[in-house]
């Protein structure tokens, strides 16, 4: 659905149930189609990647954040600005590696998994793997070195 | 019209969207009798005035129409070759319209890639690291404003030198791009944008006719 160009920057209020149910239907259909948890995880990551490469532009257009100076700033922007904008939650940033190049995002109230219970036969399924793909796609688009902002 | 052109350039330097909305250019239409006192030359696939400047017809102007029939390149719309037609005394008197030649789509593609390269050079010349690149190019007749996103897409707007608020226009165009181009699942990234765009409210009338747009499938509707 398209939005008016003079819409302004507040987001539309929408039922999150439809979003949760849509995602659930998507994952269950993938499970039926692939029958193998690893394949489903891979597909979710791919889909997330395709979402991420487009979502990053929307994020940059709306949030006006500039270039981050270090990885900690990147982690902050992801958790406090991006997740807040798109999912309405603020995951916590923990588990920094000693070198400072790895961290964990813990999502307490992930809207994708509302009402979801993973059965035993899908123990290796990563249900929210779409989000991992989104992050991968989005960050890859701004990581690429270009002549312009090169060192 | 305060905004003359909008260009969107992808990461590789290819032009993916272009829109022109010039005010009507100075054109002169005159009736001539044989022999023609202007010297016309074929240059770059266009018939240009090489000598004989007078009455609003200047050197460098192209033949735009003959007897009301539009000319494209060196042929008229009915397939006649222009120089041959004008060399034949039987076709006179003839009414020819001259004017500043418009850029063809190939020329626009070339200019966009050239600007992309200049932008890269500009950033490398910067004494400080992490330069934003060329933000503005100023001349006496227009100002070129450029905004490069963190993902490498460049939005270029050519505007009247006195026009203010182009920065927010560039941001707005970025938002529109992220909405209408990127959210269309059938649009492939980095490819030319061929899409019907609902006219943004801040332009009160369609800026140009579809024939001026590089991608004819892309047109505005109110």
Domain positions in chain B are 3-22+104-183, 27-99
Which residues of chain A are within 8 Å of residue B176 when distances are taken between CB atoms? Answer: 5
CA distance A3 to chain B (A): 8
Mean pLDDT, residues A26-32? 93
pLDDT at B202 over 70: no
pLDDT at A26 over 50: yes
Residue B198 binned pLDDT confidence (cut-offs 50, 70, 90): low
Nearest CA in chain B to A63: B175
Give residue B207's pLDDT. 44
Give residue B197's pLDDT. 54
Please state the separation of Cα B100 from the chain's center in Å: 12
A13 token code pair: 């209020």
Q: What is the pLDDT of residues B4-32, one digit of tens each?
A: 999 999 999 999 999 888 766 778 888 88
Question: Within a 10 A sphere around the Cβ of B196, how many other Cβ atoms?
Answer: 10
* Residue A108, in any domain of the structure: yes
Count of all residues that appear for chain B in the document: 222
Residues B39, B36: Cα–Cα separation, whole Å: 8
B21 token code pair: 């909305």
* Residue A87, in any domain of the structure: yes
* Residue A9, in any domain of the structure: no
The CATH number of whichever domain residue A104 belongs to comes to 3.30.1380.20
Give residue A142's pLDDT. 87
Residue pointed to by tokens 């003839």: B94
- A14 and chain B in contact, CB less than 8 A: no
Give the ranges where chain A is alpha helix by DSSP (H).
Answer: 16-34, 37-63, 71-76, 83-86, 129-143
Name the class of domain B3-22+104-183. alpha beta
The architecture CATH gives domain B27-99: Roll (2.30)
Q: What is the pLDDT of residues B50-65, one digit of tens each?
A: 888 887 888 888 888 8
Residue B129 binned pLDDT confidence (cut-offs 50, 70, 90): confident
Q: How many domains does chain A have?
A: 1
Distance in Å from the first CA to the final CA of chain A: 41
**Residues B143/B137, Cβ–Cβ less than 8 Å:** yes
Q: What is the pLDDT of residues B41-99, one digit of tens each?
A: 888 788 888 888 887 888 888 888 888 888 887 788 888 888 888 888 888 888 888 88
Give residue B137's pLDDT. 94
Residue A12 binned pLDDT confidence (cut-offs 50, 70, 90): low
- A147 and chain B in contact, CB less than 8 A: yes
Residue pointed to by tokens 């070759």: B81
B178 closest CA partner among B157, B153, B214, B207 = B153
Residues B15, B106: Cα–Cα separation, whole Å: 10
A136 phi and psi, to 5 degrees?
-60, -45
Please state the separation of Cα A134 from the chain's center in Å: 4
* Residue A106, in any domain of the structure: yes
Q: Do B124 and A60 touch (CB under 8 A)?
A: no
- B134 and chain A in contact, CB less than 8 A: no
* Residue A8, in any domain of the structure: no
Q: What is the pLDDT of residues A105-131, one digit of tens each?
A: 999 888 888 888 888 888 899 999 999
B76 phi and psi, to 5 degrees?
-80, 175
Q: What is the pLDDT of residues A54-107, one digit of tens each?
A: 999 999 999 989 888 888 999 999 999 999 999 989 999 999 999 988 899 999
Nearest CA in chain A to B170: A61
Alpha carbons within 13 A on the beta-carbon side of B57: 23
Cis status of the peptide bond prior to B93, with omega within 30 of 0: yes
- A55: domain range? 16-114+127-149
pLDDT at A2 over 50: no
Q: What is the pLDDT of residues B170-179, one digit of tens each?
A: 999 999 999 8
* Residue A64, in any domain of the structure: yes
B27 token code pair: 């054109």
Q: Is A123 helix (H, G, I), strand (E, B) or coil?
A: coil
- B127 and chain A in contact, CB less than 8 A: no
Which residues of chain A are within 8 Å of residue B17 when distances are taken between CB atoms? Answer: none
Mean pLDDT, residues B122-133? 86
User: Which contacts (CB < 8 Å, 24+ apart) does range B148-151 have?
Assistant: B148/A148, B148/B119, B149/A57, B149/A60, B149/A61, B149/B174, B150/A60, B150/A67, B150/A142, B151/A56, B151/A57, B151/A60, B151/A141, B151/A142, B151/A144, B151/B11
Which B residues, 50 through 79, put their C-beta within 8 Å of a C-beta on chain A? Answer: none
**Residues B57/B50, Cβ–Cβ less than 8 Å:** no
Q: Indicate the average pLDDT of chain B.
A: 82
């Amino acid at each position: 659905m398209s939005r008016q160009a003079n819409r302004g920057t507040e987001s539309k209020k929408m039922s999150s149930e439809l979003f949760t149910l849509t995602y659930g239907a998507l994952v269950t259909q993938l499970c039926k189609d692939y029958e193998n948890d690893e394949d489903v995880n891979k597909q979710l990551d791919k889909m997330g990647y395709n979402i991420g490469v487009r979502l990053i532009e929307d994020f940059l257009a709306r949030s006006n954040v500039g270039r981050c100076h270090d990885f900690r700033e990147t982690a902050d922007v992801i958790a406090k600005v991006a997740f807040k904008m798109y999912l309405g939650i603020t995951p916590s940033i923990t588990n920094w590696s000693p070198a400072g190049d790895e961290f964990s995002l813990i999502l307490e109230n992930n809207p994708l998994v509302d009402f979801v219970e993973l059965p035993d036969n899908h123990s290796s399924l990563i249900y929210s793997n779409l989000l991992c793909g989104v992050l991968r796609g989005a960050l890859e688009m701004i990581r690429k070195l270009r002549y312009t902002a090169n060192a | 019209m305060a905004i003359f052109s909008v260009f969107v350039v992808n990461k590789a330097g290819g032009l993916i969207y272009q829109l022109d909305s010039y005010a009507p250019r100075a054109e002169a239409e005159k009736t001539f009798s044989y022999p023609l006192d202007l010297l016309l030359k074929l240059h770059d696939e266009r018939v240009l005035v090489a000598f004989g400047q007078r009455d609003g017809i200047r050197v460098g102007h192209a033949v735009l129409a003959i007897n009301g029939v539009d000319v494209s390149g060196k042929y008229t719309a009915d397939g006649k070759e222009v120089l041959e037609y004008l060399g034949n005394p039987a076709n006179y008197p003839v009414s020819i319209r001259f004017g500043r030649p418009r850029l063809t789509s190939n020329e626009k593609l070339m200019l966009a890639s050239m600007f992309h390269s200049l932008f890269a050079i500009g950033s490398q010349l910067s004494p400080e690291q992490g330069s934003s690149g060329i933000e503005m190019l100023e001349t006496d007749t227009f100002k070129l404003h450029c905004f490069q996103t963190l993902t490498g897409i460049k939005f270029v707007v050519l505007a009247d030198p006195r026009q203010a608020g182009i920065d927010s226009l560039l941001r707005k165009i970025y938002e529109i791009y992220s909405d209408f181009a990127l959210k269309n699942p059938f649009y492939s990234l980095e490819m030319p944008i061929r899409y019907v765009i609902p006219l943004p409210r801040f332009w009160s009338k369609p800026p140009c006719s579809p024939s001026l747009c590089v991608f004819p499938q892309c047109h505005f509707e109110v």
